[in-house]
Amino acid sequence: MIIDVQLASLFTAVALVVIGIFAAVFLDNLIKKVIGLAFIGDGVNLFLISMGYKAGGIVYIQLPGMAADWFAQNSAYPLPFALVLTSIVIGASTMAVMLGIIIVLYKKRGSISASKILGE
């Protein structure tokens, strides 16, 4: 049985979100928590991209000579791709800030363990 590309992408997106939630909730290392949050963001991005996927679709740039109705029926939906590009930029800058805060916490507390920093 061959699995559809869109269905495989959805399963992968769910797996990334589940792994990310596990890392963010259950792991004690702050860097691993940040990586888990990145997994959640990547899973959501993959979900959005797979929702915009159209089997046999074309790139959403109308070239000269294309009929408007044919173009509208065959082009992929461009909004998820624009949202994902924005999300990637925001996610990268947020991750950089989180890692910077972890560096400051390590210099101040001498550990990157969440339980030691919180004093538990």
Instruction: Indicate the number of domains in the chain.
Output: 1
Q: Is 33 exposed, middle or buried (0-12, 13-18, 19+ CB in 10 A)?
A: buried
Domain that holds residue 109: 5-118
Q: What CATH number should be reported for the domain holding residue 94? A: 1.10.287.3510
Q: Confirm if 58 and 73 have CB atoms less than 8 A apart.
A: no
Q: According to the model, what pLDDT value does residue 1 have?
A: 63
Comparing CA positions, the residue from 90, 4, 77, 7 lying closest to residue 42 is 90
Q: According to the model, what pLDDT value does residue 5 have?
A: 84
* pLDDT lower than 50: segments of the chain: none
Angle between helix axes 30-52 and 79-109 (nearest 10 degrees) is 180
